[in-house]
Amino acid sequence: MDSELLNGFINELGWEALLNTRGTTWRKLDETTRNKITDAASAATLMTEMPAIIKRPLLCAPGKPMLLGFSESSYQQFFHEV
């Protein structure tokens, strides 16, 4: 994961939203590692090392707000306007 791109995602969406704490990658982490994720910097480090921990899908297009996760109505609007 490119750190500049990741930091852009974090700035727009917030690190808490990007960090997939429901997925198996997060659940497989030991408690000590999970407890170390307390801010954008620690989350970015983990997401760089383990991109599978980033919530998906993530859509972005120039001039449009990013979409994180799936919502049929949001997708229809996003793709209709692109």
d(CA 72, CA 45): 31
- Residue range 16-39, pLDDT digits in tens: 999 999 999 999 999 999 999 999
Cα–Cα nearest to 52, from 72, 70, 27, 33: 27
Cis peptide before 57 (omega within 30 of 0): yes
For residue 13, what are the domain limits?
3-81
Say which CATH number the domain at 41 has: 3.40.30.10
The pLDDT, as a whole number, for residue 82 is: 57
**Which tokens sit at 8?**
């852009």
- The total domain count for the chain is 1
Q: pTM to 2 decimals? A: 0.85
Q: How many CB atoms lie within 10 A of CB 57?
A: 9
pLDDT tens across 51-75, in order? 999 999 999 999 888 999 999 999 9
What pLDDT score was predicted for residue 64?
Answer: 87
